[in-house]
Amino acid sequence: MKRPSYWKLFGFGFLLLVCRKIVIACMAMYIVWQNWEDVGFERLINNPSLKDAVVQMDTNRSGLILILNKHALNMTYNWLCNTQNIPGVHEHSYIVTLDQESSSALKKSWPSVKQINIVVPGLKDPFNYGDGYYQLFYLFRANLARAILHYNRSFWMIQQDTFWNDSLLNIDTEKEENVDILFDRASDKGPLVAGGYYHAKPTSNSKNYFAKLAKDISWWYAPDNAYMTSLCEVSGLAKCGRLSFDLITNWQWLQGTSSGIPPKFIQFDGETKLGGKLAKNTKYILESRISQWDKVASSSHKQFKMYQDIVDSFYSTRIGAAVMNHFILPYAHYCMLSM
| 216-269 confidence digits (pLDDT tens) | 999 999 889 999 999 999 999 999 999 988 888 876 666 655 456 667 888 876
Average the pLDDT over 54-66 and give the result.
93
The predicted structure's pLDDT at residue 16: 86
Average the pLDDT over 79-104 and give the result.
96
The predicted structure's pLDDT at residue 15: 85
Q: What average pLDDT does the structure give for the chain?
A: 86
Highest mean pLDDT among 78-92, 119-133, 284-298: 78-92
For residue 170, give every residue at least 6 positions away whose Cβ sits within 8 Å of its Cβ, in sequence order, or none.
Answer: none
DSSP string, 60-71: TS-EEEEEE-GG
DSSP string, 12-60: HHHHHHHHHHHHHHHHHHHHHHHHGGGG-HHHHHT-HHHHHHHHHS-TT
Average the pLDDT over 132-160 and give the result.
96
The predicted structure's pLDDT at residue 209: 98
What is the SS3 assignment for 162? Answer: strand
Ordered by where they begin, the domains of the chain are: 33-242 (3.90.550.10), 251-334 (no CATH)
Average the pLDDT over 48-52 and give the result.
96
The predicted structure's pLDDT at residue 155: 97
Q: Are strands 181-185 and 240-242 parallel, antiparallel or unpaired?
A: parallel
Q: What share of the chain is helix, strand, coil (3-state, %, to 5)?
A: 55, 10, 35
Q: What is the pTM of this model?
A: 0.88
The predicted structure's pLDDT at residue 250: 76
